């Protein structure tokens, strides 16, 4: 690459006039006060070869100083032991640029929000339409009618699974165009990744973990949406209740459950606790709704 850059520089008359004949001469123009040399430097940076050489130098420097960089960046005693384990392991030598990780996290975070919003607004009419039209009173007259509550919840969960699957499939079809499969087997605790994680896993394993997290969130939100639908008297009330819930879960998704899943500066078990709490709340709410449904009398 250096020889290629030297050949390119020696072929340009403006570089010869500025006495820039080698890549070493070119690097010296970075701090040059000469206006002509600075202009040539800026122009040359539009050529791929010079970007590649600078990036190769950066990667080499990061690799050689990886232990010091990691220890300096993550000096907190709360995760010092894990940092030492990462430094002494083999994963830190893997190549996974932070831009690849950040791009995926940002994209999957937005997809997660889109899926949750779609589920909520698709399922709000689940009970609300029957309640509004008083059809539920007819259903209460039979044992089978009361069991429709469970059937609707099951239908809601199936619908949520389909919605999440369709949207995730569309996302990964588009994401595959980024040609990042070469990094799938790279450890996410890479020397090129500014984030460190509690678990040593490959990039593809991390992707699978976020997908599982989205399905868990989808099912939890489905149960919450079903409960809201069964209690709300009209659509405006249902939307008014659902929007703050979506904001809260969206914030959790962005800051803990999806985008920042298992990063080392967040307590190790916090994400798992977050999922457990969310699942517990959703199950308790739907159980309360089912208990009230069974005990409702027609007056």
* pLDDT classification of 275: cutoffs 50, 70, 90: very high
Note the pLDDT tens digit of each residue in 190-210. Answer: 888 888 888 889 999 999 999
33-38 — which CB contacts under 8 Å span 24+ positions? none
Q: Enumerate residues 6+ apart whose C-beta is below 8 A from 271.
A: 256, 257, 261, 262
Q: Is residue 116 within 8 Å of residue 253, measured between CB atoms? A: yes
Q: What is the rounded average pLDDT of the residues 29-42?
A: 67
The mean of the pLDDT values for the chain is 83
Report the DSSP beta bridge partners of residue 202: 187
Higher-scoring residue by pLDDT: 82, 298: 82
pLDDT for res 129: 74
Dihedral Cα 126, 129, 131, 137, nearest 10 deg: -100
Model-level pTM? 0.80
Chain mean position to CA 194: 15
Note the pLDDT tens digit of each residue in 5-32. Answer: 777 777 777 677 777 777 777 777 666 6
Note the pLDDT tens digit of each residue in 220-260. Answer: 999 999 999 888 888 888 899 999 999 999 999 988 899 88
Can you give the length of the chain in residues? 299
DSSP string, 137-204: HHHTTSHHHHHHHHHHHHHHHHHHHHHHHHHHHHHHHHHGGG--GGGTTSBSS-TT-S--BSS--BHH
The position carrying tokens 């709490």 is 277
Q: What is the rounded average pLDDT of the residues 142-152?
A: 72
Q: DSSP state, 79?
A: G
Q: Taking 80 as the threshold, does the pLDDT of residue 1 lie above it?
A: no
C-beta atoms surrounding 216 within 10 Å: 15
pLDDT for res 105: 93
pLDDT for res 134: 63
pLDDT for res 30: 62
């Amino acid at each position: 690459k250096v020889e290629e850059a030297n050949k390119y520089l020696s072929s340009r008359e403006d570089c010869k006039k500025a006495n820039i004949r080698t890549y070493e001469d070119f690097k010296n123009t970075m701090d040059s006060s000469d206006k002509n040399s600075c202009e040539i430097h800026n122009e040359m940076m539009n050529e791929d070869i010079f970007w590649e050489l600078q990036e190769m130098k950066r990667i080499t420097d990061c690799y050689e100083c990886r232990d010091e960089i990691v220890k300096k960046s993550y000096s907190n005693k709360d995760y010092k032991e894990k940092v030492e384990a990462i430094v002494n392991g083999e994963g830190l030598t893997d190549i996974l640029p932070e831009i690849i990780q950040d791009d995926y996290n940002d994209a999957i975070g937005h997809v997660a929000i889109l899926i949750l919003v779609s589920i909520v607004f698709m399922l709000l009419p689940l009970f609300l339409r029957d309640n509004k039209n008083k059809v539920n009173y007819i259903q209460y007259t039979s044992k089978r009618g009361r069991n429709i509550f469970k059937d609707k919840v099951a239908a809601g969960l199936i619908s949520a699974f389909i919605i999440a699957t369709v949207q995730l499939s569309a996302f990964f079809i588009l994401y595959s165009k980024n040609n990042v499969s070469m990094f799938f087997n790279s450890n996410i605790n890479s020397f090129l990744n500014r984030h460190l994680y509690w678990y040593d896993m490959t990039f593809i394993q991390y992707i699978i973990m976020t997908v599982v997290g989205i399905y868990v969130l989808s099912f939890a939100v489905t149960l919450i949406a079903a409960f809201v639908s069964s209690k709300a008297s009209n659509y405006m009330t249902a939307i008014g209740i659902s929007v703050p819930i979506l904001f809260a879960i969206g914030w959790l998704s962005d800051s803990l459950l999806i985008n920042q899943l298992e990063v080392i500066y967040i307590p190790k078990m916090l994400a798992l606790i977050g999922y457990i709490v969310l699942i517990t709340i959703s199950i308790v709410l739907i159980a309360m709704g089912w208990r009230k449904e069974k005990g409702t009398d027609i007056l």
